[in-house]
Amino acid sequence: MKLWKVLGIAAFAGVAASGVLVARDQRRRAAYTPDQVRERLQERLAEASKTAG
């Protein structure tokens, strides 16, 4: 019975930790202005074009 309790606590901790990571990533993405997003997308497109051909 203790094993199941430990596994449950570990699963809960894992879900909480992944939620923290998702929230942090979302805040980082939300900090960009639309112009910054556009510039980054254009840079990525230019890099992809160089490697593709």
Give the C-alpha separation, 47 to 28, whole Å.
Answer: 22
User: Residues in the chain with pLDDT < 70?
Assistant: 53
What's the pLDDT score for residue 31?
87
Kindly state the tokens that stand for 45. 């497109």
What's the pLDDT score for residue 22?
93
Supply the range of the domain harboring residue 39.
3-52
Total domains in the fold of the chain: 1
pTM, 2 dp: 0.49
What's the pLDDT score for residue 44?
94
What's the pLDDT score for residue 8?
92
What's the pLDDT score for residue 16?
93
